[in-house]
A and B are shown apart, each in its own frame.
Chain A
Amino acid sequence: GAVVSQHPSWVICKSGTSVKIECRSLDFQATTMFWYRQFPKQSLMLMATSNEGSKATYEQGVEKDKFLINHASLTLSTLTVTSAHPEDSSFYICSANVQTGSYEQYFGPGTRLTVT
């Protein structure tokens, strides 16, 4: 139980284009989803917290107009990287809370984005 999937697992896009990453909770309803970014040999950096039906809360320093997050249902959140540049190349990971108030997060397998 508590499986989180991400799609695509890897994507290559050209500079200036936009790319959408999906995060789905497969067997539970996730009231809160989180989006992280992970650089090689570095820790996970929280980008934003996404609550179903409301606007995402972005961490300091994360451009909300560049990283658009939509949490349209209890099983789906999307991250769109707009006007991507090579410096946006990274590993993006989502996670979900199983229930409101619980600190336990279940993680997706991640999406490797390469911007050329």
Chain B
Amino acid sequence: GDSVTQMEGPVTLSEEAFLTINCTYTATGYPSLFWYVQYPGEGLQLLLKATKADDKGSNKGFEATYRKETTSFHLEKGSVQVSDSAVYFCAQTGGGNKLTFGTGTQLKVEL
């Protein structure tokens, strides 16, 4: 069945460091791919999305490219801030508007 695999956390970085959170998916067909972010005490928020191969989603300095050949959608940011500390979820669409989520990766950014 469909599944999403994310790198385990927590990921701890210093401010202004480069961030990569890996995400790979398995799906039949051509799913849409998403990154959601969950700040402490809040609900999930859509961070970015890509709907077809080679699309690049971007928002707030974060980017992810839909790579069909490697079934990946890695999240990157060139310079993280303390305010980026949160849990990041990779997700893909399935049938009937459903989303399948990865396990989430906690990011901690320190001064």
CB within 8 Å of B: which residues of A? Answer: 4, 6, 32, 34, 41-44, 46, 49, 57, 93, 95, 97, 101-110
Contacts and interface: CB of A to CB of B under 8 A. Distances in A.
Nearest to A3: B43
A43 B101 contact: yes
Provide the main secondary structure of the chain B interface. Answer: strand
Contacts, number: 51
A114 B49 CA distance: 34
B61 interface: no
B104 interface: yes
Contact of B103 (A42, A46, A101): A42
A46 B98 contact: yes
Shortest 7 CB-CB contacts between residues of A and residues of B: A107-B44, A109-B43, A107-B43, A43-B103, A43-B101, A44-B101, A103-B93
A43 B89 contact: yes
A44 B43 contact: no
A68 B101 CA distance: 23
A104 B49 contact: yes
B102 interface: yes
B69 interface: no
A94 to B, nearest CB: 9
B97 A97 contact: yes
A107 B37 CA distance: 11
Given A105-B97, A107-B36, A109-B43, 7 more contacts: A6-B43, A34-B99, A46-B98, A102-B97, A104-B46, A105-B46, A108-B43
